[in-house]
Chains A and B, each alone.
Chain A
């Protein structure tokens, strides 16, 4: 939409290799793809790092839900100067969204305080995106708290746009933004179950990882 005058008349749908631009390798940090054999060593560290910022911890089932099904879409940053301890992690999934596009979903992202500002989080996300592209993802989605400007900046720099605001999405009463990144042309026109008339998407859609709620409360009423 913006007046990007230098744009070629017939632009490529994908920018060539943005990974090289986004991925940083600070000294002492090594990036490792998660695999199930690493559970004993790293799952407790992952839980500890993620739950630090949460008012309510995720149960072990939430981590296992992602890590068992999409182990390869979890990337870790390890501190080689301290016994390869976990310094940062990203956890994702990839599956068809409402019977439509193949949607990557970034469920959790965290970097230890002492490692912030080195581009580690951006690198982790970029690696996850690269793999999702390789696996033929059509789009990538995530939610972030409206007050988390650092996270929004990070994703917007990568090319994500805010697609909607979600009112009081988190338990603490804060709202969220859903951010989306299209990876292919025509994704917006792929049919999903979403557009049945008068049907309003139910609360939180299917991405509940950032929100806990009572089972009976998941469906909100459609407009009467």
Chain B
């Protein structure tokens, strides 16, 4: 042992140079010593010391470390505007997922403000040296410094919201703060006061109005953002007015951005990176382009404020549509907004701050399948059975509902993830719902005997069976998720062109299965209504809800079938063809592609042979298939028109006559309304696009020019791609 030197009561230093040399001398040069636990991850995170591309600690010959952070003590109004706008572009980059070290923490001003860590808010200042002389007034210390403090506090609030919800580190957001707490301990009110003081300072200043207004607008926006991020739902004021106000301020900032002039001193530098983290290679500075940054900020504020309206939703059905639709915006809402929507699910320990989770789920179950037994109302005598089996049923029901609550809320939460994760998470969730369905079936069977449910023949004239209401509810939600997995496969371009025919066929299979399932639910709800007409209104509402689902599925089924037919004929003539030869046979590719669906008990997995037989339409001629496709695409268009008439909201019709509606109804749910309508209209366009493609192909077939046909799937974002979730081929001859 080397005897340690004691430097400090708690620090011992042992020099191991000699041992290391000894050990190293016993190795051949170039021989690799690899510890079993040295993983690829460690190899990837290893740095080569001294390589300037990897080692952020390497100093160039031209500068030293500390003295370089040269902060100008004065700046013109033009320079201050420029500094503020540059910071905003970096703030946006951070919101988009880039780490602080590449964005805001490249600012020498923020570094000065936050390091060493201020113990009081008054210590957060650019000139950290205590001076007895009062500071002369300046734009830098009286305007820019409070602005920076406001900005950092905004980041702190955003960070807290995000880290308290479900997000993916680095994919969505980089939470690293490099030991520089973002003024976390200081209350928002103190920061707001600083911003207000700054604004008053400006009012009293003798700056030309143009410059003074430009600076004011920047302070105002910061003040507004601070309020918004602090507690979006508690802030006073009408949502519409706040939105209009903030958007106007952003416009003012954007139009005055040209007044800005870069500072002569270097205000942003990568040199700070080596102080932040020495174990990460130097990485480039990221500032989002001005124009894009303003677009982002506008959407961030709009989405945040519009999201607040979602707290007024009263039905789980509407809420699911809202989460799906809101998050399907392109570009997707910022991670902050996605986090905010997640917090609504447990807001004040209740869904949307007002529903106990159990009630929320039961309302969803009740409104879809109307089970005879309710855990909320235990006073009813359930037929002539013993109390023991009744209490057993209730306890199982309770258990089931608590088991479901996580899975049910996760449905909503999943849509708040980034789009790639939505699909991946659903692939896992459907397996969970598959298991839930089995559990629900057991309770259904128990309920049959406890409540002495009378079996009926279903389909009419066939064998007798029971309602199986709970498991029917689970199956419904599982089918929705399965369909979403396929749609998102199209949206994310997961499927290769040669797979599209098969996936459209599978989508039509899922839709048909779902339609039959809803029909079954409807049948049992109606027959119960006849036998025990206790709540005819409730049953009517359920049938109405089923009808809405039915219309949507009808449209989906028709369009999926039409596309399947069209793509099959194209493939027969060598378009969008399978790669051949290849290392994987059709069977192996099928197994890989269908993996998310292959481990479910229902719907029963389809073997490659059966899928092949059904999806190839082998027995039908091109002409017959195209004729069918043409009819289907027209049915699809009409069905989407029906959907559009229904509007997005189930409860809209009930609330229409409600006189207590707030006066800001014009903006009510405008984002959801707009996105939902756009979605349905795009599906209609996709149906029309399919019709056109089908008739072009039919014509080519009739004129024997089918071999001259070229088909391609327009990529997402292309003007010929009518809908991201519908791969309609564009056909040219």
What is the interface of chain A, defined by CB distance below 8 A to chain B? 1-5, 7, 9, 11-16, 18, 21, 39, 55-62, 64-65, 68-69, 93, 129, 133, 156-169, 171, 173, 175, 177, 180-189, 195, 197-201, 203, 206-209, 211-215, 217-221, 223-224
B498 touches A167 (CB 8 A): no
Closest 9 CB pairs of A and B: A1-B502, A159-B582, A3-B616, A159-B584, A65-B43, A167-B420, A61-B43, A159-B583, A188-B595
Closest approach, in angstroms, between the C-beta of B586 and any C-beta of chain A?
Answer: 6
* A interface secondary structure, majority: loop
Q: Which of B319-327, B352-360, B425-433, B516-524 contacts A (4 or more CB under 8 A)?
A: B425-433
Interface assignment of B30: CB less than 8 Å from any CB of chain A:
yes
B413 touches A3 (CB 8 A): no
Interface assignment of B492: CB less than 8 Å from any CB of chain A:
yes
Contacts of B581 in A (CB 8 A): 15-16, 18, 21
B587 touches A195 (CB 8 A): no
The 8 Å CB contact of A165, one of B98, B492, B617, is: B492
A167 touches B418 (CB 8 A): yes
Q: How many residues of B contact A (CB 8 A)?
A: 94
Report the bound CA distance from A57 to B43 in whole Å. 12
Contacts of A165 in B (CB 8 A): 419-420, 423, 492-494
A185 touches B587 (CB 8 A): yes
Contacts of B54 in A (CB 8 A): 56-57, 59
Report the bound CA distance from A73 to B280 in whole Å. 30
A185 touches B505 (CB 8 A): no
The 8 Å CB contact of B167, one of A1, A9, A177, A221, is: A221
A15 touches B585 (CB 8 A): yes
Interface assignment of B275: CB less than 8 Å from any CB of chain A:
no
Contacts of A218 in B (CB 8 A): 41
B40 touches A57 (CB 8 A): no
Interface assignment of B673: CB less than 8 Å from any CB of chain A:
no
User: Known contacts being A167-B171, A182-B588, A206-B40, is A173 close to B98, with CB within 8 Å?
Assistant: yes
B46 touches A224 (CB 8 A): no
Report the bound CA distance from A14 to B144 in whole Å. 68
Closest approach, in angstroms, between the C-beta of B567 and any C-beta of chain A?
Answer: 8
Q: A62-B43, A65-B43 are in contact. List 7 more A-B contacts (CB 8 A).
A: A12-B585, A15-B584, A15-B585, A61-B46, A200-B425, A208-B40, A223-B425
Closest approach, in angstroms, between the C-beta of B238 and any C-beta of chain A?
Answer: 33
Choose among B96, B501, B582 the residue with the greatest number of A CB atoms under 10 Å from its CB. Answer: B582
A211 touches B44 (CB 8 A): yes
B572 touches A3 (CB 8 A): yes
Report the bound CA distance from A102 to B595 in whole Å. 17
The 8 Å CB contact of A180, one of B42, B165, B281, B592, is: B592
Report the bound CA distance from A1 to B501 in whole Å. 7
Number of A-B contacts (CB under 8 A): 252
Interface code B1-31, partner A: CB below 8 Å = 1, 0 otherwise? 0000000000000000000000000000010
A58 touches B44 (CB 8 A): yes
What is the interface of chain B, defined by CB distance below 8 A to chain A? 30, 32, 34, 38, 40-48, 51, 53-54, 96-98, 165-172, 174, 176, 277, 279-281, 283-284, 406, 410, 413-414, 418-421, 423-425, 428, 431-432, 435, 492-496, 498-499, 501-503, 505-506, 568, 571-572, 576-595, 598-599, 609, 611-612, 615-618
Contacts of A56 in B (CB 8 A): 53-54, 281, 283
- 19 A-B residue pairs with Cβ-Cβ distance under 8 Å, sorted by A, are A4-B586, A11-B585, A12-B585, A15-B581, A15-B582, A159-B588, A161-B496, A161-B592, A164-B424, A166-B171, A167-B172, A168-B418, A182-B589, A182-B591, A184-B588, A217-B169, A217-B174, A224-B166, A224-B413
A2 touches B501 (CB 8 A): yes
Contacts of A7 in B (CB 8 A): 586, 612
Contacts of A182 in B (CB 8 A): 584, 588-589, 591-592
Report the bound CA distance from A7 to B568 in whole Å. 15
Contacts of B166 in A (CB 8 A): 221, 223-224
Report the bound CA distance from A15 to B431 in whole Å. 32
Closest approach, in angstroms, between the C-beta of A19 and any C-beta of chain B?
Answer: 9
Closest approach, in angstroms, between the C-beta of A140 and any C-beta of chain B?
Answer: 8
Contacts of A58 in B (CB 8 A): 44
B283 touches A171 (CB 8 A): yes
Report the bound CA distance from A1 to B307 in whole Å. 40
A1 touches B423 (CB 8 A): no
User: Known contacts being A56-B53, A214-B176, is A2 close to B583, with CB within 8 Å?
Assistant: no
Report the bound CA distance from A186 to B493 in whole Å. 25
Quick one: closest B residue to A69, CB to CB?
A: B34
User: Known contacts being A2-B502, A159-B583, A208-B41, is A213 close to B588, with CB within 8 Å?
Assistant: no
Closest approach, in angstroms, between the C-beta of A42 and any C-beta of chain B?
Answer: 14
Contacts of B48 in A (CB 8 A): 59-60
B584 touches A5 (CB 8 A): no
Contacts of A18 in B (CB 8 A): 581-583
Contacts of B598 in A (CB 8 A): 188-189
The 8 Å CB contact of A2, one of B172, B578, B594, is: B578
Choose among A1, A64, A189 the residue with the greatest number of B CB atoms under 10 Å from its CB. Answer: A1
B40 touches A207 (CB 8 A): yes
Report the bound CA distance from A7 to B613 in whole Å. 11
User: Known contacts being A11-B585, A156-B496, A159-B589, is A59 close to B616, with CB within 8 Å?
Assistant: no
Report the bound CA distance from A166 to B571 in whole Å. 30
Report the bound CA distance from A147 to B591 in whole Å. 27
Choose among B413, B505, B591 the residue with the greatest number of A CB atoms under 10 Å from its CB. Answer: B591
Contacts of A4 in B (CB 8 A): 571, 578, 586, 612, 616
Report the bound CA distance from A137 to B654 in whole Å. 60
Closest approach, in angstroms, between the C-beta of A171 and any C-beta of chain B?
Answer: 7
Choose among B165, B170, B425 the residue with the greatest number of A CB atoms under 10 Å from its CB. Answer: B170
Report the bound CA distance from A133 to B594 in whole Å. 23
Contacts of B165 in A (CB 8 A): 224
Contacts of A156 in B (CB 8 A): 496, 579
User: Known contacts being A1-B615, A3-B615, A56-B281, is A181 close to B584, with CB within 8 Å?
Assistant: yes
Report the bound CA distance from A184 to B591 in whole Å. 10
A195 touches B170 (CB 8 A): no
B40 touches A1 (CB 8 A): no
Contacts of B583 in A (CB 8 A): 14-15, 18, 129, 133, 158-159, 181, 183
Contacts of A169 in B (CB 8 A): 171
Contacts of A55 in B (CB 8 A): 284
Report the bound CA distance from A64 to B617 in whole Å. 52
B169 touches A220 (CB 8 A): yes
The 8 Å CB contact of B505, one of A1, A14, A62, is: A1
The 8 Å CB contact of B579, one of A39, A65, A157, A166, is: A157
B593 touches A214 (CB 8 A): no
Contacts of B584 in A (CB 8 A): 15, 159-161, 181-183
Report the bound CA distance from A39 to B32 in whole Å. 12
Report the bound CA distance from A107 to B177 in whole Å. 31
Contacts of A21 in B (CB 8 A): 581
Contacts of A158 in B (CB 8 A): 579, 582-583
Contacts of A129 in B (CB 8 A): 583
Contacts of A167 in B (CB 8 A): 168, 171-172, 418-421
B503 touches A1 (CB 8 A): yes
Closest approach, in angstroms, between the C-beta of B286 and any C-beta of chain A?
Answer: 8
Report the bound CA distance from A200 to B172 in whole Å. 15
Contacts of A69 in B (CB 8 A): 34
Report the bound CA distance from A188 to B605 in whole Å. 13
Closest approach, in angstroms, between the C-beta of A148 and any C-beta of chain B?
Answer: 13
B496 touches A162 (CB 8 A): yes
Quick one: closest B residue to A68, CB to CB?
A: B32
Closest approach, in angstroms, between the C-beta of A124 and any C-beta of chain B?
Answer: 14
